[in-house]
A and B are shown apart, each in its own frame.
Chain A
Amino acid sequence: MAAVTEAPPPLAPTAPDDEPPRGRGRLTPYWLLLPGILWLLVFFALPVIYQASTSVQTGSLEQGYTVTWHFATYWDALSEYWPQFLRSVLYAACATVLCLLLGYPLAYLIALRAGRWRNLLMVLVVAPFFTSFLIRTLAWKTILADGGPLVGALGTLHVLDVTDWLGWTSGHRVLATPLAVVCGLTYNFLPFMILPLYTSLERIDPGLLEAAGDLYARPATTFRRVTFPLSLPGVVSGTLLTFIPAAGDYVNADLLGSTDTRMVGNVIQTQFLRILDYPTAAALSFLLMAAILLMVTVYIRRSGTEDLV
């Protein structure tokens, strides 16, 4: 594989194999890992343990909370908020598919056809990150405004009649409907799809594509049999990087949605900040994590790749 010849192991195996490093040298890899492990411990493991504990506590703000192993919180949260869970998964899945449909051609163009424009185009993909997430989402309120040109055009073309009928929009408007939330999610997470796709596509050896042509494969066949399979790691990591944050997002649903588009992230926010029901908020977070973990595991297993770049 091309990657192998280009990137040999960073430390060439020149040292004699039968003489492993002694003493402190044995521990060097672990010492090097220490900052990472500490970071994980402080910013991931400890909060997770704390949240796990919170989710099985009962009490109130004034009386304080004690661990009572009240696992019913999980069941109550799930039976109360399953519609929001389902909606989060659905919206995130829609956004991921849209990102893939929009991102793949763009990544393909940049990686294989853009020539000297490649760097400029990559900058343009990343450029939105220079402004804040919130500002970018708020901009969509102007783009999709009821009296705006886009919604006006969609109305004239009778697109909104169709989406109204499908239940994606209502009352001939886009804002404060499911469609607006999915649009916002797609827009906000599109770069996370494009970047890994680009990396995957860019490292495909052009020789392989030429060889396919030499063997009389038509362009479509070349894409189906060579390009796409080789870009699969990018597709997998792109979909994961899009789906996972999109499922937990609450900003898009909050700013672009309405009461019937609230996602599980909104529920967690409300439970934690407004109702001050910390156990339910923690239980919901855990359920979300578990659901995503499960889906991701199944997905990776089925896609048959462990390389995520």
Chain B
Amino acid sequence: MEQYEPGRLTATPRRGPRGRRPALTRRSLLRASAGGVLAVGGLGTLTACGIPPAGTTRGVTATTDHSDREKVVDFSNWPEYIDVDASGRRRPTLETFTRRTGIEVAYTEDINDNDEFFGKIKPQLAAGQDTGRDIIVLTDWLAARVIRLGWAQKLDPENLPNAFTHLAAQFRDPEWDPGHAYSYPWQGVSTVIAYNKKALDGVEVTSFSDLLDKPALKGRVGVLSEMRDTVGMTLLDMGKDPAHVTADDYDAAIARLRKAVDKGQIRRFTGNDYTSDLTRGDLAACLAWGGDVVQLQADNPDVGYVIPDAGIVTSTDCLLVPAGARHKTNAERLIDFFYEPVQAAALAAYTNYVSPVDGVKPWLAKIDKSAADNPLIVPDRTTAAKSHAFRSLSEKEAAAYEAKFAKLTGA
């Protein structure tokens, strides 16, 4: 019986009597293409690949600025990180900016994770190309890396008078960007301990030690997958300042966390997704970001937070103009606009994160009295004194620290 072979591509199912042409079969085709691939990708090409050093593009930062002719600015930000009106479709502060300056803001919420976003824009930045974005928001340690690699454009202080005068003292002059030559803070983020009252079921939580040690919380504790937040809180709990962390301190903190992981105390290392676990009660207590906690509290009265006596880790999400961006002046105007206390208040009232702008409190009180009195949004003196930032790490240190932390998380 003549079998129909789907792999046979010739018009003639049998080979011609004189066999002038061998039939093209699936096997011969596979063989041929495998040979072709090997020929194209011979070992020579393997050597030819290679990844150029990331820092060599320092010269590319001088990009032509098209701000005069093109009245637009492309702004990439994290989700729910800007004020939205009741309808959920309009962004009042951005609209005010457009009305005042005539510059349209193309706003995209496409940053979900620092590492992931860096992986996404790295190839373009490394090749000296435009990423299509004029402003990006990165957490301080990544902003430091991008600046160090020469992938951020130097800002013109002349375009940033508000930013210069209104920047709050605690945000001024980070060691990785002296004088704010390349970056300005967008919002400050404090890492606190959040809990679900119902799930705690009477267990008292006042320090990070409680989370790591109390047997009643076994398997119901969450910590953050951001290395600096989780290890920083551990260091503080051990009486060490993350601003001056040494390799030995770091190893000790990892060992402390390792013990909790091995005991089964820690349920998961979470990103933003701890919020649903906490409201559901699967997590009784966890490390959490300040602004999230304020928003969660509004939706669920069982959620509460603790600022431990040992202190909290703070970080800053920063605005940067990436290399190759076409509209630097427009971007600077937008940055400066958000340093007007009125606009900063509107922003903080929505995001509930720490505003880096001085004089925001009276304006915030006009919008939302409770927000102005919340130490997670406008830190009072005691909270500010308890805040510690993680030291800026060299690329080599960061790789070693991240590797140790990754091993802790299971991979």
Residues of A at the B interface (CB closer than 8 Å) are: 3-4, 7-9, 11, 13, 15, 17-21, 26, 29, 33, 37, 40-41, 45-46, 48-50, 52-54, 56-57, 59-67, 81, 84, 138, 141-142, 145-147, 170-171, 173, 175-176, 255, 257-262, 266-267, 269-278
CB distance from B126 to the nearest CB of A (A): 9
The CA of A81 and the CA of B113, in the complex, are separated in Å by 25
Whether B219 sits at the interface, judged by CB under 8 Å, is yes
A residues less than 8 Å from B119 (CB atoms):
272-273
Pick from A4, A40, A49: contact of B41, CB under 8 Å: A49
Q: Are A45 and B410 in contact (CB under 8 A)?
A: no
Pick from B280, B399, B403: contact of A145, CB under 8 Å: B280
Contact with A along B380-411 (1 / 0, CB 8 A): 00000000000000011001001100101111
**Which residue of B is nearest A262, CB measured?**
B410
Pick from A67, A147, A176: contact of B280, CB under 8 Å: A147
Q: Are B20 and A20 in contact (CB under 8 A)?
A: yes
Whether B277 sits at the interface, judged by CB under 8 Å, is yes
Those of B12-56 within 8 Å (CB) of chain A: 12-14, 16-18, 20-21, 24, 29, 33, 37, 40-41, 45-56
Q: Are B54 and A64 in contact (CB under 8 A)?
A: yes
Whether B9 sits at the interface, judged by CB under 8 Å, is yes
Q: Are B267 and A141 in contact (CB under 8 A)?
A: no
Contact with A along B276-292 (1 / 0, CB 8 A): 11001110000000000
**Which residue of A is nearest B266, CB measured?**
A259
Pick from A15, A19, A53, A277: contact of B49, CB under 8 Å: A53
Q: Are A53 and B406 in contact (CB under 8 A)?
A: no
A residues less than 8 Å from B16 (CB atoms):
17-20
Pick from B17, B49, B55: contact of A67, CB under 8 Å: B49
Q: Which 6 pairs between the two chains have the least Cβ-Cβ distance?
A: A64-B53, A262-B410, A53-B49, A259-B410, A49-B41, A65-B51
B residues less than 8 Å from A13 (CB atoms):
11-14
Whether B264 sits at the interface, judged by CB under 8 Å, is yes
Q: Are A61 and B54 in contact (CB under 8 A)?
A: yes
**Which residue of B is nearest A19, CB measured?**
B16
CB distance from B5 to the nearest CB of A (A): 9
How many residues of chain B are within 8 Å of chain A by beta carbon?
Answer: 65
Q: Are B411 and A267 in contact (CB under 8 A)?
A: yes
B residues less than 8 Å from A19 (CB atoms):
16
Q: Are A15 and B12 in contact (CB under 8 A)?
A: yes
Q: Are B399 and A60 in contact (CB under 8 A)?
A: yes
Q: Are A65 and B50 in contact (CB under 8 A)?
A: yes
Whether B261 sits at the interface, judged by CB under 8 Å, is yes
The CA of A266 and the CA of B411, in the complex, are separated in Å by 6
Given contacts A54-B49, A64-B52, A173-B219, contact A146 B281 (CB under 8 A): yes
Q: Are B411 and A176 in contact (CB under 8 A)?
A: no
Pick from A7, A21, A52, A278: contact of B46, CB under 8 Å: A52
**Which residue of B is nearest A49, CB measured?**
B41
Contact with A along B216-253 (1 / 0, CB 8 A): 00111000000000000000000000000000000000
B residues less than 8 Å from A49 (CB atoms):
41, 45-46, 49
Q: Are A262 and B47 in contact (CB under 8 A)?
A: no
Pick from A29, A65, A273: contact of B24, CB under 8 Å: A29
Whether B342 sits at the interface, judged by CB under 8 Å, is no
The CA of A269 and the CA of B18, in the complex, are separated in Å by 56
Whether B149 sits at the interface, judged by CB under 8 Å, is yes
**Which residue of B is nearest A263, CB measured?**
B411
Q: Are B11 and A21 in contact (CB under 8 A)?
A: yes
